[in-house]
């Protein structure tokens, strides 16, 4: 921060320099001087489809360097640069097992068959004519992040397979009832139209509860990378079960035990046994600012900002600590606090050049408290890397630089 008086003197000197040279000298456009964009007209309109300011070109999804082939790639949301609870569509994380297919909606159908009275084939347009809902929910890959080093540097590297949107679609229940469920119907096997034909078994209780056949995200049609023209949304369940490019729902009396729910997305325990069907994403939180690679440039009052979420329902509390978890105090939750959605929190802290270890821990409406990494490892071991919802520490050092607090 500089005082206006100081700027005035410096600005005057710089403005004189600027008059002599065509390119504005550094600082010449700062108050109290009048910058050129205030002395002239801007562009009449932006582009037909708007994009962020060119000065925000570093706020992008990052492709994970280890997984860049179309057969298995992912990109992360830049959580350290985002505010609030809605992820812009262009920054929504991606996870693809066979790349992004480009599907003409006119050529796409949803087939519903198996243990139903009437198997039916729907066009996307026909589905859109059913009564719809718009709801805000998070989506998180269960491989977010691993239990073992290397730990990421930024919030995106630590937890960027996480995003949140307002989804619009038809309750799955409506379409299943249109086909008529037979009494033996216990599971629905959902299959995608991508090259992976990725498929997952969804328990019928979830299908009849809050599962949705989604066609829009944040007000516009789904992006190709999010499953255009149709995806399954199972709020609070691990990302993998939210089948994109949805083409088939096979109603059965038993799970299919597909690759993605046996060999993958299953937590292998230290004793060699595996946790069967860990569908719900447990309660978690993350401080996004200040976070790794940020820098505090001013001493005094600061604010920790972050997000908290739970696949079991609403967030009730977030506590924060500045001393590595010895003492905790409550953060404030921003409205709205929604079921299975990101909830924004903020908490004040002072920094006067000392070393701090900041962290947050969330509690959901079931009373569940977000665990430490050690508590998780004690129960699960280190063999698998899915479903890590541990507390994430960030270290602020004496010169204000923020790094991952996990040593």
Ligand X SMILES: Nc1nc2c(c(=O)[nH]1)N[C@H]1C(S)=C(S)[C@@H](COP(=O)(O)O)O[C@H]1N2
Q: Which stretches of the chain bind ligand X, using CB under 6 A?
A: 92-97, 139, 141, 192, 194, 196, 198, 225-226, 239-240, 242-245
Instruction: Please identify, using beta-carbon distances, which residue of 11 and 192 lies nearer to ligand X.
Output: 192
In whole angstroms, the minimum distance from the beta carbon of 16 to ligand X comes to: 53
| Cβ count within 10 A of residue 138 | 25
In whole angstroms, the minimum distance from the beta carbon of 264 to Mo ion comes to: 9
Instruction: Please identify, using beta-carbon distances, which residue of 216 and 316 lies nearer to ligand X.
Output: 216
Closest CA to 322 of 402, 407, 376: 402
94 binds, among Mo ion, ligand X, none (CB under 5 to 8 A by kind): ligand X
In whole angstroms, the minimum distance from the beta carbon of 77 to ligand X comes to: 9
222-241: which residues touch Mo ion (CB under 5 A)? 239-240
Closest CA to 61 of 97, 87, 98: 87
Instruction: Please identify, using beta-carbon distances, which residue of 243 and 391 lies nearer to ligand X.
Output: 243
Contact flag: residue 95 with Mo ion (CB under 5 A): yes
Instruction: Please identify, using beta-carbon distances, which residue of 244 and 395 lies nearer to ligand X.
Output: 244
291 binds, among ligand X, Mo ion, none (CB under 5 to 8 A by kind): none
Here the tokens at position 219 are 């007000």
Contact flag: residue 250 with Mo ion (CB under 5 A): no
In whole angstroms, the minimum distance from the beta carbon of 142 to Mo ion comes to: 6
Determine the Cα–Cα distance for residues 79 and 309; give it in Å rounded to an integer: 14
Q: Is the peptide bond before 336 cis (omega within 30 degrees of 0)?
A: yes
> Which residue of the chain is nearest Mo ion when measured via CB?
141
Q: What does the H/E/C string look like for 349-407?
A: EEECCCCEEEEEEEEECCCCECCCHHHHHHHHCCCCCCCCCCCCCEEECCCCEEEECCC
Here the tokens at position 70 are 């179309």
Determine the Cα–Cα distance for residues 115 and 122; give it in Å rounded to an integer: 17
Q: Is the peptide bond before 145 cis (omega within 30 degrees of 0)?
A: yes
In whole angstroms, the minimum distance from the beta carbon of 73 to ligand X comes to: 9
Instruction: Please identify, using beta-carbon distances, which residue of 95 and 128 lies nearer to ligand X.
Output: 95
Residues 112-151: x/- map of binding to Mo ion (CB under 5 A)?
-----------------------------x----------
User: Total residues at the site for Mo ion (CB under 5 A)?
Assistant: 4
Instruction: Please identify, using beta-carbon distances, which residue of 73 and 320 lies nearer to ligand X.
Output: 73
Element (H, E) at 20: helix 4-20
**Whether the Cβ atoms of residue 283 and residue 315 lie closer than 8 Å to each other:** yes
Q: Where on the chain is the footprint of Mo ion (CB under 5 A)? A: 95, 141, 239-240
């Amino acid at each position: 921060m500089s005082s206006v008086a100081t700027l005035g003197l410096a600005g005057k000197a710089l403005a004189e320099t600027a008059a002599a040279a065509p390119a504005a000298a550094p600082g010449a456009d700062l108050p109290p001087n009048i910058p050129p964009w205030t002395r002239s007209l801007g562009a009449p309109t932006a582009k037909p489809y708007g994009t962020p300011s060119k000065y925000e070109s570093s706020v992008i999804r990052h492709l994970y360097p280890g997984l860049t082939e179309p057969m298995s790639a992912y990109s992360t949301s830049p959580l350290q640069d985002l505010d609030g609870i809605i992820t812009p569509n262009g920054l929504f994380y991606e996870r693809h097992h066979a790349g992004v297919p480009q599907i003409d909606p006119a050529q796409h159908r949803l087939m519903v068959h198996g243990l139903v009275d009437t198997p039916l084939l729907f066009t996307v347009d026909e589905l859109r004519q059913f009564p719809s809902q718009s709801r805000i929910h998070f989506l998180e890959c269960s491989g977010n992040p691993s239990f073992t080093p290397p730990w990421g540097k930024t919030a995106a590297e630590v937890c960027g397979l996480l995003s949140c949107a307002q989804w619009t679609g038809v309750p799955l229940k409506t379409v299943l009832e249109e086909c008529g469920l037979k009494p033996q119907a216990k599971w629905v096997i959902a299959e995608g139209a991508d090259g992976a034909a990725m498929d997952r078994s969804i328990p019928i209780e979830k299908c009849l509860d809050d599962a949705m056949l989604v066609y829009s995200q944040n007000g516009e049609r789904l992006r190709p990378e999010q499953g255009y023209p149709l995806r399954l949304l199972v709020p609070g369940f691990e990302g993998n079960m939210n089948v994109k490019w949805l083409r088939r729902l096979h109603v059965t009396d038993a799970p299919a035990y597909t690759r993605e729910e046996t060999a993958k997305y299953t937590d292998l325990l230290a004793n060699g046994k595996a946790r069967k069907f860990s569908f719900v994403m447990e309660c978690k939180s993350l401080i996004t600012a200040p976070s790794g690679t940020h820098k505090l440039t001013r001493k005094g009052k600061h604010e920790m900002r972050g997000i908290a979420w739970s696949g079991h329902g609403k967030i009730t509390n977030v506590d924060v600590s500045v001393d590595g978890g010895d003492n905790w105090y409550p953060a404030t939750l921003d409205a709205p606090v929604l079921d299975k959605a990101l909830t924004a929190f903020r908490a004040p802290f002072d920094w006067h050049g000392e070393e701090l270890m900041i962290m947050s821990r969330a509690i959901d409406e079931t009373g569940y408290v977000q665990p430490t990494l050690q508590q998780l490892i004690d129960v699960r071991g280190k063999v698998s890397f899915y479903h890590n919802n541990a507390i994430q520490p960030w270290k602020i050092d004496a010169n204000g630089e923020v790094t991952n607090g996990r040593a």
